[in-house]
Amino acid sequence: MSREATINAAQAINEALHLAMAQDEHVLKFGLGVDDPKAIFNTTAGLQERFGAARVFDTPTSENGMTGIAIGAALAGMRPVMCHQRLDFFLLALDQLVNNAAKWHYTFGRPVPLTIRLIMGRGWGQGPTHSQNLQAWFAHVPGLKVVMPANAADAKGLLLSSIFDDDPVVFLEHRWLHFAQGEVPEGDVRVPLGKAAIRQAGDAVTIVAASYMVVEALHACRALEAAGVHCELIDLRTVKPLDWDTVYASVRRTGRLLALDTGAATGSIAGEIVARASMDCWSALKAPPLRLALPDCPEPTSYGLTRQFYPGAEEIVRCIGKMLGLPSLPLEFLPQRHTHHDVPGVWFSGPF
C-alpha cells in the first residue's frame, strides 16, 4: 500500500473503471450522463477523455432498450458496464434483465459478461421513487449475481471482479457509501464475488448485513464491545449467490442471529437469511433469530416523516439487548449524531 491518503468509494469505483478499461479494450462504459460535468457522482470522471467516445458514451433516455443493447454487445464479445444514477429508473429495463440477461446462459449456453451499476438513494427527500433498495428482487431471479459493497476497498475490488465475471452482475451502490473513506489498494486488486467478510469476530451474536447496514452495524458492535458483548459482524458483499458457509459457521458458533437489510422487510434478503439459518442451524440456535429491515412502506419524502424511518445502530443495539436479555443498553457508546438524520454527513447539502 503505497498510497498515503484514503480515498472514498466513488473514487475507488472510478479507479476500478479506469483499470478495467485500460486492461481490456472490450470493456465499454455507458449510461445516461457518464460524460456530463457531474460524471455520475465523479465515478466516471476522465474515462471518455482517456478511452474515447466509442467506448465511453452518454445514451438516449432508454433504460430498457439500452440494457438490451448492452446484452447484445456482451453476447458479441464486449464487456459493457452500464450505470443508472438511481435504481428506480432501471425498473423500466426489467424485461431485458430478467428475460434475456438472466436466462441466456442457462438457455443458450453462452455468457453475458455485463455489469449494471445501480445507485440507491437515501434521505434528502429522495422519497418513494429515488430510494428503493430492491436487492431482493434481483436476487430472486436465477442467473443474476447481485453485489453490494459496503466500503471503498470493496467498491473497487468487487467492481473489478464484476466487470471481469462472465455472468450478468447487478452492482448496487448505496449513495451514502460513495462518501465512505477508506484505504484502497492500488492497482488491480480484486475482491472475489460470492465471499462474505467477517468485519468483526465475536461469540455473542451473528449480525449479517450488507451495504450501508454494515456501517450502522459496525457502530453498534463497537458500542456493544464497550459493554463486553462481542458480536460477529458478517458483511455479505455478494447477496446472490450468498456465502452460506460463512453465515452458517458463524451462527453455529454464536447460536444467535440478527439479519439486517436496507430494503423492505417482506421477502427481503434478511428474511431469507433468517429462514435458511432456522432450517439449517436450528439445533444450534439459542434464541429466535431477529431481523431488522425497513418498514413495508414507500420511503416518505418529508424531513419530518423520515425521522424514524430507518433502523440504525441504536435499533441494532436494542435488538441485541433484547436477544441477550441485557439489563442495560450501552447506547452512550454510540457515536453522537452531529448532523441531520437525512444526510450522510454535515458536508452533504443535496441535491441528490
The residues carrying an active-site annotation are 63, 130
Q: Are 100 and 71 in contact (CB under 8 A)?
A: yes
Give least dist CB 39 to other proteins, A. 21
48 is an interface residue for other proteins by CB under 8 A: no
Per-residue contact string for residues 253-282; x = within reach of other proteins by CB under 8 A: ------------------------------
Query: Among 244, 309, 333, 352, which residue interacts with other proteins (rule: CB under 8 A)?
Result: 244
Name the residue nearer to other proteins (CB basis): 68 or 263: 68
Q: Is 23 in the site for other proteins (CB under 8 A)?
A: no
Report the distance separating Cα 94 and Cα 90, nearest Å: 7
Among 23, 62, 308, 339, binds other proteins (CB under 8 A): 62
Tell whether residue 54 is a contact of other proteins (CB under 8 A).
yes
Q: How far is the CB of 242 from other proteins (least distance, A)?
A: 7
Burial class (CB in 10 A: 0-12, 13-18, 19+), 84: buried
Indicate left, alpha or beta for 13 from its phi (over 0: left) and psi (-120 to 50: alpha): alpha
Round to whole Å and give the CA distance between 59 and 56: 10
CA 275 → CA 58, 127, 228, 279, 281, distances in Å? 42, 30, 29, 6, 10
Element (H, E) at 79: strand 79-84
Q: For 228, phi and psi rounded to 5 degrees? A: 85, 15
- The residue from 56, 193, 218, 316 that contacts other proteins (CB under 8 A) is 193
42-50, 63-71, 265-273, 318-326 -> range binding other proteins (CB under 8 A): 63-71
Select from 49, 183, 245, 296 the one that contacts other proteins (CB under 8 A): 245
Q: How far apart are CA 17 and CA 264, in angstroms?
A: 31
SS3 246: helix
3-state secondary structure of 157: helix
- In one-letter notation, the amino acid at residue 131 is S
Angle at 169 between CA 17 and CA 211, to 5 degrees: 80
Pairing mode, strands 27-30 and 197-200: unpaired
The one segment of 128-136, 235-243, 277-285, 336-344 that binds other proteins by CB under 8 A: 235-243
Q: Nearer to other proteins by C-beta: 59 or 181?
A: 59
Q: Which of residues 98-117 bind other proteins (CB under 8 A)?
A: 99-100, 105-112
What track of x and - describes contact with other proteins for positions 73 through 92 (by CB under 8 A)? Answer: xxxxxx--------------
> Minimum CB separation from other proteins for residue 335, in Å?
33
CA-to-CA separations, 144 to 109, 257, 294, in angstroms, rounded:
15, 26, 24
- Told to check if 33 binds other proteins by CB under 8 A, we report no
The rounded distance, in Å, linking the Cα atoms of 65 and 67 is 5
Of 59, 181, 278, 301, the one binding other proteins by CB under 8 A: 59
| Rg, the chain, Cα only | 20
Residue 198: strand, helix, or coil? strand
Closest separation in Å from C-beta 230 to other proteins:
25
Of the residues 216, 235, 243, 342, which one makes contact with other proteins according to CB under 8 A: 243
- The CB-of-254 to other proteins minimum distance in angstroms stands at 19
Question: 165 or 173, CB closer to other proteins?
Answer: 165
State in angstroms the smallest separation of the CB of 110 from other proteins.
8
Q: Please pick, from the candidates 29, 86, 145, 174, the single residue that binds other proteins as defined by CB under 8 A.
A: 145
| Alpha-carbon distance values, 175 to 131, 149, 166, 215 (Å) | 9, 11, 26, 13
Q: C-beta of 56: minimal distance to other proteins in Å?
A: 12
Binding site for other proteins (CB under 8 A): 28, 54-55, 59-60, 62, 64-78, 95-96, 99-100, 105-112, 142-143, 145, 165-167, 192-195, 238, 241-246
